[in-house]
Amino acid sequence: MSSAAEHRETAGRFTGLVRGTTDWSAPAPCAGWTARDVVRHLIEWLPGFVSSGAGVTLPAGPSVDDDPVGAWVAHTDAVQALLDDPASAEIHFANQHTGRMPLRAAIATFYTSDVFLHTWDLARATGQDERLDPRRCADMLAGMLPMDAALRSSGHYGPRVEVPDDAEPQTRLLAFIGRDPLA
């Protein structure tokens, strides 16, 4: 699947959850976060990432505090437009931690994957459908397991939560990143 198609699908699911949220102050599974904070996180980190690594400026939307739905829609539309733009195929991303790669690949690897993971957080916080694609969960977990120490030391993931070895892929992935899916 192309980076643009993967983002369209992943962000589309997340957009449905955003539109279905009725309580933006609902606590999220990320300690100290609310549903609004989950959306804020995804909107706020990517612009600096692509600006510093690829010189790309994403247009700003409304404030997440004033209009979380509008802020998310403006943001995800801007990301989709960038991925859909044929010229973006020629843009490279460079970062001291990740090295050099096509911008589309950087967005897919770091951002779209983050949207996928935080889909569960927003769904759990707002009482919506928490099911994630099991194949994608299994693939992500397989890719992350060899980087356990590096991921853990980055500070972006909590301590691993113990779950049965035969748990389904979503449970194992969420537990790996520090969520307690059985709580």
Q: Does one domain contain both 9 and 73?
A: yes
Domain residue limits at 28: 3-110
Residue 118 belongs to a domain: no
Q: Does one domain contain both 135 and 106?
A: no
- Domain stops at, among 45, 79, 110: 110
Question: Which pLDDT does position 80 carry in this prediction?
Answer: 98
- 133 pLDDT tier (thresholds 50, 70, 90): very high
Q: Does one domain contain both 11 and 72?
A: yes
Tokens of 142: 């397989």
Q: Does one domain contain both 139 and 91?
A: no
CA 39, 40, 43, 46 dihedral sign is: negative
Question: Which pLDDT does position 97 carry in this prediction?
Answer: 81
Q: Does one domain contain both 17 and 88?
A: yes
Q: Does one domain contain both 84 and 155?
A: no
Residue 16 to residues 7, 20, 31: CA-CA distances in angstroms?
A: 14, 6, 23
Q: What's the predicted TM-score (pTM) here?
A: 0.95
Q: Does one domain contain both 101 and 44?
A: yes
Tally of domains in the chain: 2
Q: Does one domain contain both 151 and 90?
A: no
